[in-house]
Structure formats: structure tokens, C-alpha cells
Amino acid sequence: MQRLVDGVQRFQANVFSAKRHLFERLAEGQDPLALFITCSDSRINPNLITQTDPGELFILRNAGNIVPPYGASRGGEEGSIEYAVSVLGVEDIIVCGHSHCGAMSALLEPSKAAGYPAIRNWLDHAEATRRIIGENYKHLDGEFARQTAAVEVNVLVQLDNLRTHPAVAAALAREQINLHAWVYEIETGKVFAYDSPAGQFMAIENTGHGPRPHYHEIEM
């Protein structure tokens, strides 16, 4: 804990003073670039990987970057999504999964969540992901390949769930919002974005977009 307290003091002494004008402006209100939905995993830092400042990303996090279909959970996700879209007027929503996701691992191996009823119940919102992998990806060899596929399939499943939210559906009908499926690879720092016409995840990089080394094609 001392590490965190020291960090607060260093933030105030070094970072805040250097960006005082930014923080004073943010006190007036927020106008974020996007709604960024990702996993609670401590290894992901949305502002770091997108090189954005406070005020630029409206962030929603939970285990497995899951978006329960509208009305299914009556949880905080619905309110955050409605606020971002209808009040703040974000024009882009990113659902960002990541490599080595513990939630996806527990989804594929329910025994890992045995004894943790809250996790089991939460992962029910990703049941479509589990079924898609179980029924359509039997050819994948080994846990790593299946987990990698599950991470990718899950962000697409959660985009489908996002479309059930009335605020999102209405903005889509007005063509005022774009939905994006990303996967962040912890060990390489690479971010892959789903390319719908190509049917695969492509690396976001300034040397051009290359396909992710694949174990499979995504079949959605």
C-alpha cells in the first residue's frame, strides 16, 4: 500500500503540476473520444496502449470485457453505456479483449470457476462464446489455441450484445456510432483490430496492417 501512497505524492508533485491546465479544463466537463470496454486484468492500461490523456477515454471494465445483453443483468454496464452514448455522444465504442485472459480460461474450463458462484454467474453472459468455441473450433489443438480463439470470438460476441442496448441501436440506425473489436497482446504490445470484410484480426501498426498469426479463421 505504501507504494500507492508514494505514487499519489509523486503524481501531485510531478505530473499534476506539469498538466495543471489540462486538469483545470477537465473540471469543467468531459468530451471523451470513445467508450473503451476492456477486462479488469491489471496488465491492461487503456490510456497507455492508446497514448491518451485523462478525459479522452470513457472506460468500462469488468472480468472478461463482457457486455450483458440489454436487460439481462440490470447492472452498471447498462448505465455506463447509455451515458457514454446518449449523454456524452461518443462516436466510437471499442471492446478490447486480451491475451492470457483468466476469464476466458475459466469460461472454457468451468472447473476453474468451481466454488466461485459470482464468477460462474457472470460468465453466463459469455455462454455464446463458449458454445461457438466448443461446437465450431473442435479442430483447434491445445488449450492455448482454444483460449486465443475464445478471446477473439468473445469480443465479437460482446459487440453483438452491445447492439441490443437501445442507445447503441438507435445511434447505429442514425449511423452516428462505430463499433470496434480489438485484442491486446500483452507479451508483444500489439493491438489487433477485427477487419470485417477480411474476417480476421489485423495488427494496428504504422508499417501497415498485417494479419494476426492465426490458428483459425473467425467464423461468425
Residues that bind Zn ion (CB under 5 A): 39, 41, 101, 103
Q: Which of 101, 125, 146, 165 is catalytic?
A: 101
Q: Which of 3, 25, 31, 98 is catalytic?
A: 98
Identify which of residues 61 and 180 has a Cβ nearer to Zn ion in the complex.
61
Q: Which of 43, 74, 163, 214 is catalytic?
A: 43
Q: How far is the CB of 55 from Zn ion (least distance, A)?
A: 25
Identify which of residues 57 and 103 has a Cβ nearer to Zn ion in the complex.
103
CA distance 148 to 134: 13
Q: How far is the CB of 4 from Zn ion (least distance, A)?
A: 22
- Secondary structure (H, E, C), the chain: CHHHHHHHHHHHHHHHHHCHHHHHHHCCCCCCCEEEEEECCCCCCHHHHHCCCCCCEEEEEECCCCCCCCCCCCCHHHHHHHHHHHHCCCCEEEEEEECCCHHHHHHHCHHHHCCCHHHHHHHHHHHHHHHHHHHHCCCCCCHHHHHHHHHHHHHHHHHHHHCCCHHHHHHHHCCCCEEEEEEECCCCCCEEEEECCCCEEEECCCCCCCECCCCCCCCC
Identify which of residues 41 and 78 has a Cβ nearer to Zn ion in the complex.
41
CA distance 21 to 6: 23
Q: How far is the CB of 155 from Zn ion (least distance, A)?
A: 11
Q: How far is the CB of 37 from Zn ion (least distance, A)?
A: 12
Q: Which of 6, 10, 41, 92 is catalytic?
A: 41
CA distance 188 to 184: 9
96 is catalytic: no
139 is catalytic: no
Q: How far is the CB of 38 from Zn ion (least distance, A)?
A: 8
Identify which of residues 38 and 80 has a Cβ nearer to Zn ion in the complex.
38
Q: Which of 39, 96, 125, 165 is catalytic?
A: 39
Identify which of residues 95 and 103 has a Cβ nearer to Zn ion in the complex.
103
120 is catalytic: no
Active-site residue list: 39, 41, 43, 98, 101
